[in-house]
């Protein structure tokens, strides 16, 4: 007899899902017994870290990753990270254990009520199959949904006695997911770009997701468009040392409209129109600006509040558009001037610390909200897959994502705030066990400075619950098996940073508070 478990592993093997991430419990025991050759289980110490590490691995490989969670409690712990994966369009297959089917009517210990409903709406697909025999086919369907644009997490709940039930083989199937729109729609965009006085491109993370950096650069150069990064992107999408690159749009409606006002045609690629964090009134774009939007997400196209949205996967759409646009002789927009780094003096500033990372030869993973603008000013990203952050704002994503990226073998530098670091600090243990090439730089301003700064923006000058004095992050790192050092002076920083680049290593760098307002 062929069991559900055997067929399930066959489906995983065919899909290349041979590295699993998770934090196991009793409802996963039958799934994990007699672990097969050729499969690897990457243990994390908490479920949100498991999801984040799996996400970092998926981003690096461009394929799906499987993460194993433990019933309702494990899924609950992981939901913040699943939310991030959903907003950042990361293809994860989340498999959660469930109690034995015969026990479910009695609401047993560790049983999940309505398991398929629990993670919604932050998964694309969610199911607990009606029959044990349907579990492997459900996995195959989940994989196809996760990898269909817009990509994202899916959820499969499996009662723990299903694994030993009989099941038939699942036929292998392939789905080609690239698509583009009608030629007429792209002709409209091309005509607008060809006749524009001063076009602009807003480059979103979908460009990086779909491997379309070359196409985005070619389009901007052909039509001589100014290029802005979309507000709050999860990835970089255009070389930030390119003379056409103008910087990052802030997540404020009035500011976006003002910065884009000089442009008569704006093309948003692979990003929503637009992501905001601070409320302000006014139009989406200035009067007289024609707005076009290329992306694969029908939901984003539906709620976009202005312009013309065109559904297409990014690389296919840009490739077709490049055949329609004409080389322009209009003057290129002026190159932006990058702010100089602050001097490396005491007291240390985030600007001075980050300037030492330029040029960035490693992957940069960032979760330092109060220093995000400084990161973009001092550490330009110049290559695909070179930058990851959280596009949703739910903290605790950066550190485990950095671990997952590093597990693929590429050197990763994770720049994280002291507050952010604590949401998933246990991910350091996995980095230590796997000897991941990871350097964690904590910009420690002894508080939730992003919260305090946003408070000051709206006139709130005093807040409870934003101070974080006397955190001993180096002791925490040592406890998880990661070497660490604290830096409080400019003189000590260069040598400490050199040591930290032989990671895994955590560097706790004490910096001044920004003192300014975000955005």
Residues tagged active-site: 25-26, 28, 47, 70, 277, 393
SS3 463: coil
SS3 98: strand
Token output for 397: 């994503």
CA pair distance 220, 225, nearest whole angstrom? 5
Distance of CA 180 to the CA centre of its chain: 24
CA pair distance 405, 67, nearest whole angstrom? 15
CA pair distance 371, 445, nearest whole angstrom? 10
SS3 202: strand
Token output for 411: 């050197």
Token output for 62: 């461009």
Distance of CA 225 to the CA centre of its chain: 27
CA pair distance 437, 407, nearest whole angstrom? 8
Token output for 7: 């067929």
Decide: 185 and 25 in contact? Cβ < 8 Å: no
Residues, the chain: 519
Number of H helices, E strands in the chain: 19, 18
CA atoms within 13 Å, Cβ hemisphere of 121: 2
Cα 237-238-242 angle, rounded to 5 deg: 165
Decide: 342 and 490 in contact? Cβ < 8 Å: no
SS3 78: helix
Decide: 375 and 416 in contact? Cβ < 8 Å: no
Closest CA to 355 of 518, 519, 513, 511: 511
Helices assigned H by DSSP within 2-121: 4-15, 29-32, 47-61, 71-87
Decide: 56 and 365 in contact? Cβ < 8 Å: yes
Burial label, 204 (beta-carbon count in 10 A; 0-12, 13-18, 19+): buried
Decide: 130 and 69 in contact? Cβ < 8 Å: no
CA pair distance 514, 444, nearest whole angstrom? 11
């Amino acid at each position: 007899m062929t069991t559900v478990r055997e067929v399930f592993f066959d489906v995983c093997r065919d899909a290349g899902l041979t590295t699993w991430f998770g934090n196991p419990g009793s409802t996963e025991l039958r799934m994990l017994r007699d672990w097969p050759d050729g499969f690897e289980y990457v243990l994390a110490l908490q479920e949100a870290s498991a999801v984040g590490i799996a996400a970092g691995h998926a981003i690096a490989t461009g394929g799906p990753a499987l993460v194993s969670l433990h019933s309702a409690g494990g899924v609950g712990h992981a939901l913040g990270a699943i939310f991030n994966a959903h907003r950042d369009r990361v293809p994860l297959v989340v498999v959660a254990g469930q109690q034995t089917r015969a026990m479910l009517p009695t609401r047993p210990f560790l049983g999940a009520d309505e398991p398929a409903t629990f993670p919604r709406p932050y998964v694309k697909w969610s199911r607990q199959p009606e029959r044990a025999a349907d579990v492997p086919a459900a996995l195959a369907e989940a994989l196809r949904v996760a990898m269909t644009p817009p990509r994202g997490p899916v959820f499969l709940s499996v009662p723990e006695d299903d694994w030993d039930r009989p099941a038939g083989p699942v036929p292998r199937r392939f789905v080609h997911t690239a698509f583009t729109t009608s030629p007429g729609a792209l002709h409209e965009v091309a005509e607008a770009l060809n006749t524009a006085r001063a076009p602009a491109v807003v480059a979103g993370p979908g460009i990086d997701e779909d491997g379309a950096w070359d196409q985005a650069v070619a389009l901007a150069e052909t039509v001589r468009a100014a290029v802005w990064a979309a507000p709050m992107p999860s990835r970089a999408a255009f070389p930030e040392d390119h003379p056409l690159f103008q910087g990052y749009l802030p997540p404020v409606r009035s500011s976006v409209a003002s910065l884009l006002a000089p442009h008569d045609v704006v093309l948003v690629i692979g990003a929503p129109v637009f992501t905001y964090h601070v409320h302000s009134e006014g139009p989406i774009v200035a009067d007289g600006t024609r707005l076009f939007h290329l992306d694969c997400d029908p939901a984003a196209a539906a709620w976009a509040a202005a312009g013309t949205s065109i559904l297409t996967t990014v690389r296919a759409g840009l490739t077709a558009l490049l055949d329609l646009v004409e080389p322009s002789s209009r003057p290129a927009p002026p190159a932006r001037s990058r702010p100089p780094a602050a001097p490396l003096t005491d007291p240390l500033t985030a600007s001075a610390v980050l300037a030492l990372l330029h040029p960035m030869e490693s992957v940069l993973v960032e979760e330092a909200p109060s220093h995000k603008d400084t990161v973009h000013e001092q550490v330009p990203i110049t290559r695909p897959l070179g930058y990851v952050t959280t596009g949703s704002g739910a903290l605790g994503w950066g550190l485990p994502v950095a671990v997952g990226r590093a597990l693929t073998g590429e050197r990763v530098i994770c720049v994280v705030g002291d507050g952010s670091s604590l949401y998933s600090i246990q991910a350091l243990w996995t980095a230590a066990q796997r000897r991941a090439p990871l350097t964690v730089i904590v910009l420690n301003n002894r508080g939730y400075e992003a919260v305090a700064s946003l408070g000051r923006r709206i006139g709130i000058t005093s807040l409870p619950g934003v101070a974080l004095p006397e955190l001993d992050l180096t002791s925490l790192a040592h406890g998880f098996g990661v070497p660490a050092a604290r830096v409080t002076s400019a003189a000590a920083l260069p040598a400490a940073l050199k040591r930290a680049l032989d990671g895994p290593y955590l560097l706790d760098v004490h910096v001044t508070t920004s003192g300014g307002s975000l955005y």
